[in-house]
Amino acid sequence: MEYKEYQSPSFFEAYINAFKYCLDFDDRSRRAEYWKFAAIFEFCAIGLLVAYKMFDSIGVAIIFAIFAIVHLLPAYSVLARRLHDSGHSAKWIIGIFIPFIGVVFRFIIFVFTLMDSEKEYNNWGESPKYYIENDLRLADGIYKGITSDLHGNQRKSPSAVSLQQKRNVHKYKSIYLPNICLINSKLLFSLEP
């Protein structure tokens, strides 16, 4: 199977997506989305620090504090999704807060964020970067809304389904399906021969 890449998000799209999905710690974000958000965040933070040094104003310090607080949740959520995309658990983030050892965890997480996306479906969903060319029917670079699965049933392609719908399906798979399997296995084993 030959994998193709989806188009990389622009800087603005990556920044907006970090805020749009700031409560989503269960999905995947590709490397470009993470690093573009980080670049905009660092650029703005450095600009505010330079303004603080130039003007030495309490107003600029308050603006910087508000800026940092507003970006806290989106930064950790996009980091968690980036770790998921590289095939690692977001629990690695907890290590950052351990005294003395946190530096080691920061370096490990930095290396994980540099890794490429896993091409296949992993514990946190489909790859936001790769797709198999035969899975999607392309028409002049625009995805058609319908593809066929292995059984010939027609379904919407991942590109035609919104990102939020994909995330809802993934949450359904991770929350409800294991419970249904558990209930079915209990029923199966509770039947007497």
Q: Based on the structure, what is the number of domains in the chain? A: 2
Q: Do 72 and 21 belong together in one domain?
A: yes
Q: For 12-32, write each residue's pLDDT tens digit.
A: 988 998 999 889 888 888 888
181 part of a folded domain: yes
| Nearest-angstrom CA–CA distance, 98 and 163 | 34
pTM exceeding 0.75:
no
109 and 175 housed in the same domain: no
List, in sequence order, every beta strand (DSSP E) within the chain: 3-5, 130-132, 138-139, 142-143, 146-148, 154-156
**In the chain, what percentage of residues exceed pLDDT 90?**
24
| pLDDT tier, 134 (very low <50, low <70, confident <90, very high otherwise) | low
